[in-house]
Structures are given as C-alpha cells and as structure tokens.
Chains A and B, each alone.
Chain A
Amino acid sequence: MAASVRHSPRWLALAGLVALLMLSGCAPIEGTADEQLEAAQGTGAAGSSEATDGGGPAGGGGTLTYAAAPPTSIDPHMMSSLGDIHTVQPVVSYLVRLGKDLSLQPDLATEWESEDGQTWTFELREDVTFHDGSDFDAEDVVATFDRLVDPKVASAAAGSFTFLKKGGTTAVDDHTVRFELTGPVGDFPAWVTAYQAAILPSDWEGDFAKNPIGTGPFKLTEYVARQRAVFERNEDYFEEGLPKLDGMEAIYYEDFGAQITAIQSGDVDVLTLLPGDLVATVPEGSGVEILSAPSASHGQLIMKVNKPPWDDVRVRQALALTVDRQQIVDELWGGHATVANDHTVSPIYQASSAIDTEQRTQDIERAKELLAEAGHRDGINAELVTYGGIGIFAQAVAEMAKPAGFDIEITVEPSDVYYQHWLELPVAMETWLHRSSPAQMPSLAFQCGVDWNMAEWCNKDYDALLNELNATVEEGERAEILAEMAAIQQEEVPAIIAWFQDTLSAVRDNVSGYDSHPANFVDFRTTTVE
C-alpha cells in the first residue's frame, strides 16, 4: 500500500511537466522583445498607395514580408551570395545605382567624369546621414574602397577591382572623391555598382549584424541568422517621399521549394528570386505574378581546353551543336530567356550592337561529322559535374547530346561542395550572374591566366582586344571591339553558353511598385503592399 501512494504522484509530475511545457505556450526564440515591438508598429495606414516615385510623404505603404535565401555573411563588403544581397541592400546605398535597363543612376554620387579613363572624379550628394546620425562625406567613400581592395580583408570584390589599389581613392574635399586606377577602365562607373561596393562609415567597426549602419531607405532593426530580418523605414532617407513601406520582414528559407509554398499560401508577399526551373510552379491566375528583367546572367558548360578530348576545338563545337537552344528557352525557361551564341556579350548591353556572328543552332548531323573528323567516330564518354540549381539544365543538355554520340554522366552536388573544387573540374556547368559591364566576364573568366578561367583558355587576340576595350571610352568603338571578341569566343567555344536568362522574382497580387532587376538587386523604395 505504501508503495502505490508514493508512486502515483511521480507519474503525475511527469505528465504535468509535459503539459506545462505545452501550456506555457513558449514560442521558439526569434529575437528580443523590444525590437519586435518596433517592427510591429510599422503597419500604419494601408490606404493610400500611389505608385509614384517621390512626391508626398514617405510611409503609409504597409509592412511587406519577403522570402530570401539565408545569408552567409551580412558584412556588405564580404557579400558573395544572393541571400546576403537581399538582406543588406535595403540598408545601404552605393555611389552609383544600376537601373533595370542597365542605365547608371546617381545614388550617393551625383556626377562623375574622366578624361582618360584612368582618373575618375565623382561629386557626392550633400546632406546625407547614416543611420546612426553621422554625416556622409568623401572620407567614407575612401574608407570603403580601401577596404574593398585590401588583400587582408579578402573581399570578393578585390578580384574585380584589380585596377584599384589601396590609397588609390582620395578625398578631394568633403563632397568630391577621386579614383586613380592603375590603367584605363572605360566604364569604371559601371564597376562601382558592384554589390559589395556599399558605402559604409569611415569609422565603422565591423560586424554588420551588430552595427548595421548604412544610408539606405531601411534600417535593419533585427537579424536572426538563418531565420529572419526585420526592417523599418528610415525617416531621414535622402530621397524625398521614399520609402513608401513602413517596414519589412525577410524570412529565410533553406530551399526554394519552401519559398514557393510560402508565396502560394500567402505567408510571404514577395520572392526576391524565382529560380528558372521553378517557373512552372506559379502558373497564371494563381494570385502570384512573375516579374522578369532581361539580364546577362547565363549558364556555362565549361570544357577544359587543355584536357583531351576537349583540347580539339572540333569536339567542343560538336557538343555546342547538339544543344537545342530555342527549346531550352521556350520550355525550361517558359520564355523568360533569350538564345545565346557561346559568348558572354548579352544583347541587353548597349555595346553589343555591332555583333553579327551567325547564331549557332542544333545540328546533330554536323556534330557527328565534326566528331568523326576529330577521330571520335564512336562517340565520347564524359563526366559533367554541376550543382543543384542548374542540374536540370545539365540533364536536359546531356539528353540532347546523346544522338550525336556523347554519353555524359552527370553528378549533381550541393553548391557549397561544388564551389570547393570547381576550378579543378574538367567539364562542369554553372551559372554566372549578371555583370554590369560587358568587360567584366572576359576579365574574370576568359582572360588568359586569371584565377577563374575554368576552361584554361588562352587566346592572345582576345586578350589584346580586352585591353583595348578597357582603354576605350567611346561607345561605338567599344561595340566594334566587343563584336570581334564575341566572334573569337564563339568560334573557339571554351564554354557553351546557350541562353541569357531573365532574372525572375515573384510577387503576390497585392504588391505594387516592385520590379525584377537584372543583377537581382532588390529595390523596395517605391513598393507598397495592401
């Protein structure tokens, strides 16, 4: 009898503990109470939402929720992935802003000029303050660019800005900055739109998660790694009447499938990036609209030109001839892409106007002929390595290549794993994102000897033309040079480039004033949500 009296209360205690856990309604931890209170106050009057830019008081546009990939680093100068960009950009500004049509728009800089392409002077906007109240001036620009090119900081931008050294940026006065480059760069202003080139205070101490000090339209009020970020309107933003939103929240999703489900069910209002292979998941009339911006982003199927059998240009051309480019554009991209011709000069660049190389199309017979000529009458076996997002395109291309005798075995890796050894792969497929200047792709990936020249392609004429291009400022001349470069690349085909994809995003019907951007930058200044 004594035994039973002693035992049952313990049972109840156990059960009680579990029930207590449930009843206490402890929600999973996301942040501190103070910060969420601020964010919650941002719902304001949802009524008046004119989609005009500027004019009228800022705010009143509601609170928007958007989905993004989780950032790896929100240090603006160390950004390298889209998740980073989509969190940081609402908080910062640049010298020059890249417009949707690739035009250069003044942001923190109002004017810029150069006589020889080697020394550039930028006039800066006055009366701009950072989120901590300090004034913006030329010293901040100097500090920013010095940091970007500092080898000890190891910013990814350093690889682009090879022509700028530490100390090459100087403050002429409080509102004028001078860049002295190591060589002429004809379209340098386009280069400073690079997403890492966000202007931060000269005395900034690092750790953006703790000190998110920028000059952008929104303030970052809360950041929980891999979960969410909360923004509120910057009352002192330097553009009159902007931003319209009272606040925003970014929710991070580990994979795009979850993002799609979220926007379909209304958990989020905007998808900052809609991957091309998921276009079919948001059909017409489902309450979600797809926004597209033509861009220079493209996929590359790279073949190392110094490894047999790819060292024979005929083999490379043969593979290029098996791809049905129009079908990929129509079916896999749902029309949200344009056919490309195995070179990197996208038709959206104004400087592509002089290109007249004949468009390569699918020609299985010719492919077989070329293979036979190169001594591979029985076909070729190859291994292609790629990663998740572009895997479906690799599969499509491999299937298309079969009738010509190519037997391609595909390995799909998670992108983090892929990028640990990508430079050593003999045949690989990857996406290259839009670059603001047509000179960037050649410099980054096709110039002889550069780090990211995966194909290990070396063409003296091409390199000489590139140097000439950088020294040329006049548009018409630049176009001529690019046309020659494109012709060479198309002939030698170190990488098969079959399409230029639109950059896609998705919004629910109750969102206005948001648009896709070719470089997948985010701009919420004129956005409103009902």
Chain B
Amino acid sequence: MTAVGRSAGSGILRYALRRIAVMLVLLVVVSLLIFGMVEILPGDVGNLILGQYATEANVELVRERLGLDRALSTRYLDWMGGFLTGDWGDSWRLGIPIAPLIATRLYNSMVLAGVAFAFIIPVSIVAGVVSALKKDRLTDRVINGVSVVSITIPEFVSSMFLILFFSLLLPWFPSSAMVPEGAGPLTTLRYLVLPIIAISPVLIGYIARTVRASMITELGADYTRTAILKGLGQRTVIRRHVLRNALLPAITVIANQIAWLVGGLVVIENVFNYPGIGQLLLQAALVQDVPLLEAIVLILAAILMLSNLAADLVYTLLNPRVRAQVAGGAT
C-alpha cells in the first residue's frame, strides 16, 4: 500500500472509532431514559408475578425480594451493571432469566428478517431498475401505483387477508408461523411465506423508489452519456457503472428500513404467533413486565444504532467521494 493508502485507511478507522464512541454514549443516554420512564410505571408487580390470587402479605414479600424498595439510582446502577456483565435478571411475569429468552427470540426474529430481506432486496432492486429504465411508461406507472398502495396498507390489514385466502380458504400455508422442531429449510420456508409477504410491501416500496430515483440520476449523468457516446453498449454501461453507483444510496435506505422492519415485526409476529422479539416486546408492554421491557428496548436500541453505523461505514467504504473526504479527516 502506498503512503497515501495507509493514512486513508487510518482516517477511516478513526472515523469509525469516533462513531462507535458516540454510539456508546447515546446508548447510555437511552438506557437512562428507558430506565427512568419505565420505573415510574404504576402497577403492582406482586400481583403480576403471583397472579390474581396473591394476598397482601405475599405481594409485600415479592417487592422486598426484588429489591424494589431501594433508591432509584441504586437500582439503575445495579441494573446497568448486571446488564453489562450478562445478568439481565428474571422476567417478572414468566419467572425465567431474561438473557437466554431474548437471545432465542432475537435469533428467531433475525431468521425471519433475514429470509425476508433475501426476498425483498432482489425484488426491490429489480423493480427500481426496471421502472427507472422504463421511466414514465406503463410499467413504471403500474409499479409506482402498486407501491403507493402497498406502502400505505398497514401490515395487520394485509396479514388478515393473507391468512384468510392462503391459510383458511386455500389450505396452502399454516396460519401460525411456529416452525416445528428439526424442520428442514423447505418446511421452514413454508411456515414463513405468509409473514414475509405481509411484511415486504412497505420495504420493497421504499427501497425500489430509492433505487429508481438514483438510477434516473445516474442514467442522466455526464459519465453515462460519455460512455455511451464512446461506443459502449447501454447494457454494458449500466452493468459496469450505473448500477453500482445507483445502488449505493440503497444501502442507507436498507439500513433505515431495518427500523421499520422491527416495528413491523411487532405486528406480524403478533398476527402469525411467531416466537420472535416483537411478540415478546408486545407482551411485556401489555402487562408492564418492567425488567423484560427495559432489556428488550435497550437491545433493540443497540441493534438499530449498530445497523445504522454499519450502513454508514459500508457506504463510506464503497463511495469513493465520501471515502476520500472521511479519510482526509473531514467529518
């Protein structure tokens, strides 16, 4: 590597480290906010844990056992300390340790999200490219119309119809996405088809639009016209230059959509009874299971920040202009 290359590399490294540092600070802020907000929750944890037949005395015992009579700051430090060392406490309602529960649920959600993205990304890119190439023609208008409608329909609405048509009337797919033990990839896929179709439209819509917009920009750019004038076929130009440049902004959009996906998962997992983190969050919120709620929100916050950071870094690395800027020390 040349001398320039080396300092460029370290410039990016410094940028990444700085962003990570900022992210950690933000996470602490978020943890304070979550803890503060949720701890002010009214409601009696004793009844929550012991069920409806708890007696006064028992409820008091539970409060003591959980250390809820201590000061707020002590509890916060305790909680954060435990969190960082991997002890996330027990769920009030379920009575089981939180960390393994969240780990399992998170994994399940990531499987669903992963398979969903494997479907969404190619479809969006194709849709975006095609509609850019056929700009303002019928294909473009149709794709645009469909995407406007599909973006706007709430996931629970489309889920209802999907289950009705493809699970009850036509018994093609199971209505609940609870994949059985030891299922192979094909069986797993069969259980996940409906939830994925339900959650995809919004994401496809946004990603396709971004791809279309940036494709159009790149197609109209000087270098494109120059390359075509030079004699390279349109297909070659698109494949070698335009596509790459056009897809760069899509990375950032995809990263942003992860936040949307998480929100969508809460609804989808509820409707399809899928054992993921979204369903766990909803249940925890509905019954005010404080430790579980705090842990989930903090984990989600970390994941979202990480994915945004990762997207930014990937974008920086891939985009030569931004990369040079960052390497040179600019923010």
- What is A's interface to B at a CB cutoff of 8 Å? 3-4, 7-8, 10-11, 14-15, 18-19, 21-31, 33, 36, 39-40, 72-73, 80-81, 151-152, 154, 156, 158-159, 209, 224-228, 251, 253-254, 258, 261-262, 264-265, 267, 414-417, 419-422, 451-452
Contacts and interface: CB of A to CB of B under 8 A. Distances in A.
B253 to A, nearest CB: 14
Contact of B53 (A27, A156, A209): A156
B149 interface: no
Contact of A11 (B51, B58, B104, B247): B247
Nearest to B93: A72
Contact of A267 (B101, B121, B176, B314): B176
B178 A251 contact: yes
Nearest to A421: B44
Contacts of A261: 163, 167-168, 175-176
B147 to A, nearest CB: 22
Contacts of B57: 151, 154
A36 B54 contact: no
A63 to B, nearest CB: 12
Given A11-B244, A262-B175, A29 B44 contact: no
Interface in B170-225: 171, 174-176, 178-189
Contacts of B320: 3
Interface stretch (B226-234, B280-288, B295-303): B280-288
Nearest to B115: A22
Given A22-B114, A25-B184, A267-B176, 19 more contacts: A4-B244, A10-B318, A19-B118, A22-B115, A23-B185, A24-B185, A25-B186, A28-B108, A30-B181, A40-B182, A72-B93, A72-B95, A80-B51, A156-B54, A254-B270, A254-B279, A254-B283, A258-B176, A261-B168
Contact of A28 (B58, B111, B171, B280): B111
A258 B160 CA distance: 12
B96 interface: yes
Given A26-B111, A225-B101, A420 B44 contact: yes
B185 A7 contact: no
Given A11-B247, A26-B111, A417-B43, A227 B188 contact: no
B202 to A, nearest CB: 18
Contacts of B112: 28
Nearest to A30: B181
Interface of B: 43-44, 47-48, 50-58, 61-62, 93-96, 101, 104, 107-108, 111-112, 114-115, 117-118, 121, 163, 167-168, 171, 174-176, 178-189, 240-241, 244, 247, 270, 273, 275-276, 279-280, 283, 286-288, 314, 317-318, 320
B288 A154 contact: no
Interface of B: prevailing SS: helix
A508 to B, nearest CB: 14
Given A22-B118, A72-B93, A154 B58 contact: yes
A185 to B, nearest CB: 19
Nearest to B46: A420
A179 B270 CA distance: 48
Q: Which 3 A-B pairs have the closest CB atoms?
A: A25-B185, A80-B51, A416-B287
Nearest to A225: B96
Contacts of A25: 184-186, 188-189
Given A28-B111, A264-B168, A416 B93 contact: yes
A261 to B, nearest CB: 4
Nearest to B185: A25
B287 A414 contact: yes
Contacts of B314: 10, 14
A81 B275 contact: no
B59 to A, nearest CB: 9
A254 B114 contact: no
A26 B101 CA distance: 18
Nearest to A419: B52
Contacts of A451: 55-56
A27 B314 CA distance: 29
A248 B50 CA distance: 28
Nearest to B183: A27
A307 to B, nearest CB: 20
Contacts of A33: 182
17 contacts: A4-B240, A4-B244, A11-B318, A14-B314, A21-B114, A27-B179, A27-B184, A28-B111, A33-B182, A81-B51, A154-B61, A156-B53, A251-B178, A262-B176, A416-B48, A417-B288, A419-B47
**Chain B CB within 10 Å, residue with most, of A3, A28, A267, A420:** A28
Contacts of B175: 258, 261-262, 265, 267
A480 B186 CA distance: 66
A317 to B, nearest CB: 28
A72 to B, nearest CB: 6
A23 B279 CA distance: 25
Contacts of A21: 111, 114-115, 118
Contact of B55 (A27, A72, A159, A415): A159
Contacts of A254: 270, 273, 279, 283
A7 B175 CA distance: 42
Nearest to A222: B181
A7 B241 CA distance: 11
B114 A156 contact: no
Contact of B244 (A7, A27, A40): A7
Contact of B114 (A11, A15, A18, A419): A18
Contacts of B163: 261
A27 B287 contact: no
Contacts of B101: 225
A81 B54 CA distance: 12
B117 A29 contact: no
A159 B54 CA distance: 8
B171 to A, nearest CB: 6
A334 B104 CA distance: 41
B188 to A, nearest CB: 5
B176 A28 contact: no
B37 to A, nearest CB: 17
A33 B182 CA distance: 8
Contacts of B61: 152, 154
Contacts of A414: 286-287
Nearest to A75: B95
A36 B115 contact: no
B108 A29 contact: yes
B112 to A, nearest CB: 8
B168 A265 contact: yes
Nearest to B173: A265
A8 B189 CA distance: 29
Nearest to B55: A451
**Chain B CB within 10 Å, residue with most, of A4, A10, A27:** A27
A15 B320 CA distance: 20
Contacts of B62: 154
B287 A225 contact: no
Contacts of A15: 121
Given A21-B118, A80-B52, A420-B47, A226 B94 contact: yes
Contacts of B185: 22-25
